[in-house]
């Protein structure tokens, strides 16, 4: 009986892990502002779209965007959505990320 219970618990954790890790990517064009979010030492660069969605900017892209902090800009980027869920299904969160960012209005960037 204990063995069956253990196997069921392990299978449920594996299933929850597989269902919790959804990963979708698409190319988007957005308008918004660059900002910093968090507290030191966990600061991160984010893009706040005009629609109000907050995207975390990929680490390799931050140096390109930091000089434009606070300015309204237009970008083309790859949007990645990561949905995370606890094993018991009680807490679900969705994080949005931007990578491969191109600044059409700033050709030198």
Structure pTM?
Answer: 0.71
Q: How far apart are CA 37 and CA 34, in angstroms?
A: 10
Residue 101's alpha-carbon distances to 30, 45, 64, 68, 71, in angstroms, are 10, 13, 9, 13, 16
pLDDT at 69: 92
* Phi and psi based region of residue 52 (left: phi greater than 0; alpha: psi -120 to 50; beta: remaining): left
Q: What's phi and psi for 25, nearest 5 deg?
A: -125, 145
Between 3 and 67, residue with greater pLDDT: 67
pLDDT in tens, 1-14: 665 655 446 555 44
What domains, with CATH codes, occur in the chain?
2-102 (2.40.50)
């Amino acid at each position: 009986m204990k063995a069956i219970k253990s196997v069921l618990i392990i299978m449920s954790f594996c299933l929850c892990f597989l269902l919790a890790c959804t990963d979708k990517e698409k190319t988007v064009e957005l308008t918004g502002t660059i900002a910093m979010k968090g507290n030191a030492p966990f600061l991160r660069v984010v893009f706040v779209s005009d629609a109000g969605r907050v995207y975390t900017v990929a680490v390799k892209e931050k140096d390109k965007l930091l000089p434009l902090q606070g300015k309204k800009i237009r970008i083309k980027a790859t949007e990645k959505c990561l949905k995370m869920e606890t094993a018991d299904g009680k807490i679900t969160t969705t994080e949005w990320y931007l990578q491969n960012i191109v600044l059409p209005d700033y050709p030198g960037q």
